[in-house]
Structure 1
Amino acid sequence: MPLIVKDYKWRQSNTFVIIQIPLHGVSSSKVDVFTSPNYIKASFERYFFEAVLLHPITVSESKCTKTSTEVIFELAKCEEKEWEELEVNLPKKEKLELKLKLIEEEHLRFQEECQKKFERKAELKRVAVREQIGIDTQHRNKIEKIKNEEKTNALGDFQEWHRKVEPKIIELNSDDENDFLIKENSSVKKSDKNEFAKINKIITPTCSVNRRNKIKSTVPMPLPRKSATIRVEFTARSFPTPSRESQLAEEEEWLRKQAEVRRSIGFMSEDLRPEEKNPQYLNSKGQEFLKAGNYLGAISAFSFGIKLCNEYPDLYIGRSEAHFKKENFYKCAQDCSTALDLLRPAVQSNLHQRVTCISRRGMALQKLGYLRESINELEVAFKLNPSDTEIKNILMEYKDQFEKNEQKEKQ
């Protein structure tokens, strides 16, 4: 419980109230100060000082000074008059309610001030963005104008020359179809006649002349493009990364180690004869590994069988048992769900397999922490086969555990 500081001193003038609070040996860096128009507070370690002021003060003109021995409040009065007391004279309960109200008002005022600062800052940011956009637009327009002027200056001489040397219209003026003249533009100088002669030599072989008609240029049309198909073949790889991003030596070392591990657990698909690479043989091989306690070898045998035939439910059931023994409960539940999807329609001949999958999935869910779902699974399995005492015992055990957990939560 904090110690209330009562040995403080205060004095006043017409405009200020000065309060001196001793620190009692506490460092000034540990002092926490709160100031509002009608309430001030100072707390440091186990000491506490507060005052609900008799009259309001101007917070913006007030200040607090921390020295090595005391905290000094210099509070600016809103009105220039003498205070009879420092604090209001109210009962303890009313004083507490007033204090809480003043603190809440100050917090609301502070939040509103922060919101106004944020909005003002956001508005300034928007104005700055608009100004920057305007500056960038002016800069781009200036660059575009310079580019257009340079382009006009560069092409001006060429266009002027082109207007001077361009012939008017090529027409016939005689009965001879191969003899035609070019009417010169009146604006062309005599010195440009040689240019017209050159143009005449160029266009004459590629023009067909019709009497009293304009010459039409005959340009051969290109043939359509031929279609073709491009075939792309990729090199087979054991890793998903492309060869340009891989490290061949490290990959070969990894594959070699994996092969050694598979061979050490008693199963290697490369060691099987062609007649042994069938799902039934691999299922029996996996069952042998299960009986011998070689669960990794069983998982490898069942997995290779699934690669050859992914619709054989016995392989998924066997692999789920191996995963359960290896405490891979999530993979066990997945294999049980896949096997149940394959065991359709639900008939009497696959009842035992369905009960095995449902009960094993329920036990895997219990290991994963889903006790309620586990109980639901085991209840379904027990309804399918009420004579199975093992499922009944496990179900009762899980229900007792669930009830104990609920009792603990209620406590």
Structure 2
Amino acid sequence: MPVWVRDYRWEQTPEAVYLAVPVRAARLRRADVFCTERYLKVNSPPFLFEAVLYAPIDDVRSTAKIENGSVFFTLYKKESALWESLVMENGDKEAMQRIREDAVCRVQENAKAEAEAKAAQKRDRRRFALDALMKLEEAERKRIEEQKEQERKKATEEIEKWKEQNEKQKKKQGIDQSHHENRKTLKKNKPENRGMRPSDGRTSSSNSVTGAKSSGNIFSEKLKEDGIPAPRPRGSIEINFTPRVFPTALRESRIPEEEEWLCKQAEARRMINADAAEMEDLKEEEKNPDWLKDKGNKLFEMGNYLAALHAYNLAIRISNQIPTLYLNRAACHLRLRNLHKAIEDSSKALDLLTPPVLDNAKARVKAHLRRGAAFCELELYAEGLQDYIAALKIDPTDKKIEEDAEKIRRIIQGND
């Protein structure tokens, strides 16, 4: 059952109210503070503060500051006036309940609108990122096309220069060859020397022939040298790869899902190792969840609820898919006044009792009744009535459930 905070302090001026709520909790979060136009709530289990204000405030300008385990409210009034008290005293219960429900509905609507605005902003950001990515890709494509065009022009110019050099070399070789043929023709047509002796004539003729041969060999070698093209110059081709300058699209990224999966795997391995170390000291029958369940049932019947709770806890650690264990542990929490834990175990049992069939109808009735009882103990009668109605739908012939549901209705209506 929650511990209601009554030792709050408040001061007021005609324009504002200053409220200090001490909550001796180890950890107080912003989500635990609830403030609307007529309703204030600070929920930090087991401590709970709730107030239906005397007059409406401007919840947009009002602020709440968490410091040293306390919440300091600065509430600006909509109308400048002094209040007789901070909260509505001796008011109509139905009106106060309606104010609570309106506050919750308003906060839900604001949260929904804020979520839609964030989703729209996220879509706009993704669209902007996609447009920027497309522009980067288009600019990169144009740059590559321009670079290809420049390389093509450069290659064309080099080919034209090579053709011109080749034509000039061929022309030079043709001129040298024609000059050599003219000189050879002149030597053949030159008259012999008549004043020489026969022997000298022979000698001269032989010398002339030898000279012609030697001169012909020199020119032929020169012609061969001129006919061989010059060796090509050495060089190297440099290849540059353009870097990828644009980021990967966000829709292709799976890093958050992978990190979440790895964290879950590490937590599961840690729990398994811890359980294995603790299970080594247990006996064989103590490792059987059915034996532990029977042991817990016997302890519960004897009134030893804390020992029964420990038995159910160990059974759930061994096998956490048996709904009966959660149902029995919820009953222990109810007897020990651990109401929030009773609600959690009943909800877990209902999650495991799926699909709803005739075989698990009785267990589902128990889960709804135990959760409804915990809600009613927390004075959350509307939620408790819903569970009793759900149990009555499963078993319409149970008069006791119908009577309890009618009592809760009268409490909500303020008749009891």
Q: Which has the higher contact order (CA 8 A, sep 6+)?
A: 2
Given the two structures, how large is their TM-score scaled by the length of structure 1? 0.37
